[in-house]
Structure formats: structure tokens, C-alpha cells
Amino acid sequence: MFTSAVAHRRALHRIPELDHDLPETLAYVTSVLKPLNGTVSFPTAGSVCAFFDAGKPETVAFRADMDALPVTEATGLPYASVHSGRMHACGHDGHTAMALALAEHVSAHLTGLPRNVLFLFQPAEETTGGARELCDAGILERYHVVRIFGLHLWPGLEAGRVFSRPGPLMARSNEVTVTIMGKSVHLSRAAEGRDALAAGASYLQRAYAMVDALPPEEPRAFLFGRMVSGTVRNAVSGRTVLEGSLRTYREETYRRCREHLESIGRALAEETGCGVEVYLNEGYPAVWNHQGLYAHILAQLGADAPAELAAPVLAAEDFSFYQQKVPGVFFFLGAGNTAELHAPDFCFDDETILPQGAAFLKKLTMME
């Protein structure tokens, strides 16, 4: 059962596209959905949805992300990307393939389903958050969605086995940009300048110390991965830009970190005379699995329930936007011992793993 997922995955793997610009991907997904016994719609740019009406007052939704990455593929697969510099290196081709295979099954087995079923094929998970756009379009309310599920391939976990946990699963992600404006002068007159490079180094050290000082029971990660400053070796730097990322789980931890990062900037500006601007983007909320729904899954599925992860991970996912609207649970599908996500040689045993993942999703459609 669900062997069509393999063919879907390989067809999609050949045509990776980015962000919202997914014409070939949308054409393929739509060509599979149109002949089925559902209603196909395009609520936002780059998305396609399929609703299967089982005559019930409530609906269960399944999310699949379709966008790829700007990565040059190095797998050597016979169905490797035909688009130079683009690759499905995060498993989204597999996610979409499993959802398509499940849609084919649901279409043929509408009688007896406890709920209607809605499939959300979204763009821009890797960039601006296509999930948020679908939420804003009102798609969940339109079809009376009462629960939503998503599944993500995950290297390092047992191939074909499903994992998850109640509560926090994936981190809130925020990009941090610190811009420091000083005054550039020749080193012979350094006392007349305002050294943006020294100020940037001081900011970095203080910010790291701040995060390290948080209580250990507040999981978080913070790193500046890029620092650009100055123009030449024999002049005081007039401008420094620090670029980093903050990962947290709890909103109170995020707010505390943000306040500290901003206060460090104010203090540094007063001490050095430099202009300091601290900017944190909105990012994605934490993926926080609904505990009541998670417990219900365990009770309903019994031996087929997901294995529980001991701890959340620091990666981020825009599935969290759906969870802010309706109860939702996100799962990891083990990809086995393979390259990491986003690596140019990421691959997995699709013939084994994808049918198992789709079979697990099928069980979720049957839950009371």
C-alpha cells in the first residue's frame, strides 16, 4: 500500500523549486489531485489544497511543504535535480509524496471516515513561512479543521519509524542583526574616531555571556555566524554588522533574551558614542505539540503510536503557525543513517520509508 509515494517523490525530486515560485511542482501536485473525489483550491500564491468531504461536521488536516533549497545536488541519483543549483535537500519531496499517496487513498475510502480530510500543500517553509499565509487566508476555519498533523523526514532516527513528543518539539527561530555605526578615521588619529569594530566585539562577548547566564532549565541556542566591519587595516572601523540566530522554546525566554540584547545595545551606545541598532525578525514560533491531542494519539494507536523523543530539537519549522490556530501534532519520520538535512548528498530509502510514513498518516485519518 502507498507505493505510489515513491513515484511521486522521484518525479518531484527532479523538479525542485524555491520559495513561492513553484510552477512545475504545483502542476504535478494538481495533476494528481484533480482526478480524485475532492475539491481542489489555490488559496495563496504557490499553494494548493484538496478537501475530501466525508459528510462530517469536522475536518482533520495534513500539511505538506513543497519548496526546495538553493543547494547543488551531489547524490548521483538517476532522478537527481534537473534544475541547476536547486535540490530537495530537506525531504519536502517526500512529505509531498506521502500526502499525495494518502489523498489517493482517502479519495477511494471516504465512507466510514470519522472526519472530512483537508490536505494543505504549502510553499515557502524554508523562507518566509507559507504556513502563516494559509492560516491568514482562513483555510482552517473555512473547512472546520479541528486538528492538524505534519510529518518531517529526520536523519539519524530509525528508518521508517515515527517519533514525536508532547509539548515542545522544535524551537522558535529569530534572526538577530546588530548594526553599529561609529566614526572612521586614520589610525594615526584613532582617538578622534569611534571604533565600531571594538564595539562589535564587545557586543558579541556581552551577548554570549547573557545567554550563558540564563537558567539551565530554559533550553536555548544563540550564535553570531557572521561579522563584517571596516574597510582597510589602517583605519578605525566606521561600521560593524553582526548577524546571528536565536533559538528558544518558551515565549518568556524569547522575551527575556530580546530585552537583554536590546539593553546591551543601549548600554554600548552610551559607553562608546556609537549608534547601535538591534533587530530581531519575527521568525517562526516554537513547534509545540498539543498535549491532549498527543495523549489521544497514544491511546488510539496503541502499539502503532510514535516513539517518544527524550528532548526537543533546536531546528525550526513553520508548522507552528497552524498549531496557533488549532490543536496540532508534528512528527519526525526516521530517515536512517543518512546525510544531514540541507546537505547536498541528503537522500533516503524512499521505497521503504515513504510507504511506512503514509501508512502512519492513514491511521491518523481513522482516529475518533
pLDDT tens, 115-168?
999 999 999 999 999 999 999 999 999 999 999 999 999 999 999 999 999 999
For residue 190, CA distances in Å to 56, 184, 273 come to: 75, 8, 14
Taking the whole predicted model, whether its pTM rises above 0.75 is answered as yes
Q: Is the distance from CB of 323 to CB of 288 less than 8 angstroms? A: yes
Q: Which three cell numbers stand for residue 309?
A: 523523543
Given the residues 65, 93, 104, 133, select the one marked as catalytic. 65
Which helix or strand (DSSP H or E) is residue 116 part of? strand 116-122
For residue 292, CA distances in Å to 119, 301, 329 come to: 22, 14, 10
Which helix or strand (DSSP H or E) is residue 163 part of? strand 162-164
Active site residue 65: yes
Given the residues 73, 104, 125, 126, select the one marked as catalytic. 126
pLDDT tens, 65-87?
999 999 999 999 999 999 999 99
**Residues lower than pLDDT 50 in the chain:** none
Listed in sequence order, the DSSP H helices in the chain are 4-13, 23-33, 92-108, 130-136, 139-142, 196-212, 251-272, 291-301, 320-323, 350-365
pLDDT tens, 261-291?
999 999 999 999 999 999 999 999 999 999 9
**Beta bridge pairs of residue 148:** 61, 328
For residue 296, CA distances in Å to 145, 278, 301, 309, 341 come to: 17, 43, 8, 17, 30
Give the pLDDT score at 219.
83
Give the pLDDT score at 347.
97
Select from 358, 360, 313, 366 the least CA-distant residue to 94. 358
Q: How far is CA 59 from the centre of its chain?
A: 24
Q: How far apart (Å, rounded) are the C-alpha atoms in residues 277 and 359?
A: 50
Q: How far is CA 11 from the centre of its chain?
A: 23
Give the pLDDT score at 1.
83
Active site residue 368: no
The strand order across the sheet containing 328-334 reads: 39-41, 48-52, 116-122, 59-65, 145-154, 328-334, 162-164, 307-308
Task: Tell me the domains of the chain and their CATH numbers.
Answer: 4-170+286-365 (3.40.630.10), 172-280 (3.30.70.360)
What DSSP string describes 41-105?
E--STT-EEEEE--S-S-EEEEEEE---BS----S--TT--SSTT-B--SSHHHHHHHHHHHHHH
Q: Is the distance from CB of 209 to CB of 188 less than 8 angstroms? A: no
